[in-house]
Amino acid sequence: MASRAKQILVSAEPNELKVAVLVDGRLCEIYVDRMGRRPLAGIIYKG
């Protein structure tokens, strides 16, 4: 079984946090949390 390249990209601003998970260079998951608003996705665990 071949190993897959995984990356977690984070962008943190004062009122917004964005996290993207890439697998083999392709977007797999995205999480956006804006202060005072409900998150657009669930919690991401690295594993």
pLDDT digits (tens, 9 = 90+) for 15-42: 999 999 999 999 888 988 888 766 555 5
Give a yes or no: residue 20 inside a domain.
yes
- Reported as a pLDDT band with limits 50, 70 and 90, residue 3 is confident
Q: Are 25 and 6 in contact (CB under 8 A)?
A: no
Give a yes or no: residue 47 inside a domain.
no
- Extract the tokens encoding 31: 């999480």
Domain holding 34, by residue range, is 1-42
Burial of 4 (0-12, 13-18, 19+ CB in 10 A): exposed
- Extract the tokens encoding 26: 């392709």
Give a yes or no: residue 27 inside a domain.
yes
pTM: 0.66
Element (H, E) at 47: none
Cα(32)–Cα(16) distance, rounded to whole angstroms? Answer: 7
Number of domains in the chain: 1
